[in-house]
Structure 1
Amino acid sequence: MPLIERPRTGPSATALARSPLPPERLLPLVADHPLPRMFDRWGPFPAVERVDGQDGAWDAVGKSRTLRLGDGGAVTETLVEFEAGRCFAYELTGFSDVFDRLVRGVRGDWGFEPDGTGTIARWTWEFAPRFGRGLLVRLVVAPLWRINMQRMMTAAVRELSR
C-alpha cells in the first residue's frame, strides 16, 4: 500500500519547468538523471552523494534504491507508479537523518504534459509528517524545499533539454 493515498492532504511543495522536448523524450531522461548531479547541498538539505542498489533504468514499479546523503544519512526510494511519457511517482521512507524526526516519508510525483512541441514538467513532494510535526513541516520545511526543488528542477531540465 502506498505511503500517501490520494487525494493529497499533507504539506506539499511543487515546482514547474518547461522543456522543448516532448514528454516521451523528457520523462526517461529525468527518471534516469543521476541524482548526485541534481541533488546538491542547499541550505539545511544535504546532497545525494551516491545511489546504491539500483539495477538498470528507473522505469518499473517496485524498483528500489538507497540514496546516501551528504550528512551521513540514507533513505530508501521505491518507484510506486510509472506511465511512459506521462508520469512517475516514488516514495521515500526510512530516513536516517534529521528528516526522520520530521516525517514518516515523502511521496514524489513527476508529471509531464504536452505544451505545443515541448513539455511542462511538474514535480511535487508531499510530506507525511510525524505526529506533532505537521505545522513545522507545512510552515518551514515545505516552503524551503519548494525553493530548493525549483532551483534543482530548472537546472536539470535545462541540462537535459540540450
Structure 2
Amino acid sequence: MNQAPLMIQHSCRIPVRLADCFALYTRLKANEYIHSDAVIAPITNIEMIQGKSFNEVGDIQRITFKGGAIIDEEVLAFVPNRQFVYKGTGFSQPLLNWLDHAKGSFEFEKDGDGTLVTWRYLFYLKTGLGHTPKRIVFKALVVDLIWHRMMTKTLVNLTQIITLRAMQTGKKS
C-alpha cells in the first residue's frame, strides 16, 4: 500500500515584480542559493545530464555534494511566471536513501508590487519492511528538523540574491 508523501513548504515575499523575479530565479544555479551548514553539505558540482539549461521539461541535472552524495533532478513542469516543478532521485545520503523519490516545486504569485514564492517539497519513501517506523523517523529528523531549517535559510538567501540582482539591473518594483 502506498502512503501519502510527507510534505513541507515555506513561502517568502520577494520585493521584485513577478516576471522579473521568475526570470532571475531561472537564471540561478542551485549552488548559488541553497543553504549549507554543518549538517547540509555544500554543492560541489552541477552537471547537465540531459538538456542545456534546466529550464525545460525533461532536462536533467546531477548535483554532487561535498562528501560525494549525489541527487539527479529532472524538470517535470515549467510554466513561465508561475511554476517550476522537478523530481529528485538517486539520493545516497543516510536517511535520504529511504526515499524512492521527491518532488519539489517553486511557485510564483503576484503579491502587490512583489512576488510570493512558495517552495514545496514532497518526500515519497520506499515501501517495504520497516516502512512505518522509517516514516516516523524521517518526518521528525529530515522533514521537521533538517529540511525545515534548510528551506527557511535557503529562501532568505534566494530573497537577498534576487532582490540584489534586480536592483543591479533596475528591475526591482
TM (normalized to structure 2)? 0.81
The equivalent residue for 2:85 is 89
Unaligned segments of structure 1, at least 5 residues: 1-7
Aligned mate of 2:150, from 143, 148, 151: 148
The equivalent residue for 1:53 is 48
Q: CA deviation at 1:100?
A: 4.4
- Shift of the 36–115 alpha-carbon distance from structure 1 to 2, 3 Å rule, reads same
* Aligned-partner residue type, residue 147 of structure 1: R
The equivalent residue for 2:72 is 76
Map residues 125-136 of structure 1 onto 2, 5 A cutoff. Answer: 125-131=121-127, 132=131, 133-136=134-137
- Shift of the 138–123 alpha-carbon distance from structure 1 to 2, 3 Å rule, reads same
Q: CA deviation at 1:84?
A: 0.1
Q: Structure 1 runs of 4+ off > 6 angstroms?
A: none
Task: Indicate whether 1:105 and 2:78 are aligned.
Answer: no
Q: What fraction of aligned residue pairs are identical, expressed as a percent?
A: 18
How far, CA to CA, are the matches of 1:116 and 1:107 in structure 2?
A: 29
Aligned pairs, how many? 155
- Shift of the 100–140 alpha-carbon distance from structure 1 to 2, 3 Å rule, reads closer
RMSD across aligned positions (CA)? 1.9
How far, CA to CA, are the matches of 2:143 and 2:97 in structure 1?
A: 15
From the two aligned structures, give the one with the greater helix fraction. Answer: 2
Counterpart secondary structure, 1:53: strand
Q: CA deviation at 1:43?
A: 4.3
- Shift of the 157–56 alpha-carbon distance from structure 1 to 2, 3 Å rule, reads farther
Compare 112-121 and 146-155 and name the one that shifted more.
146-155
Task: Indicate whether 1:37 and 2:39 are aligned.
Answer: no
Deviations 1:100-147 (A, max 9, x none): 422111110100010011100000111111231211222221012011
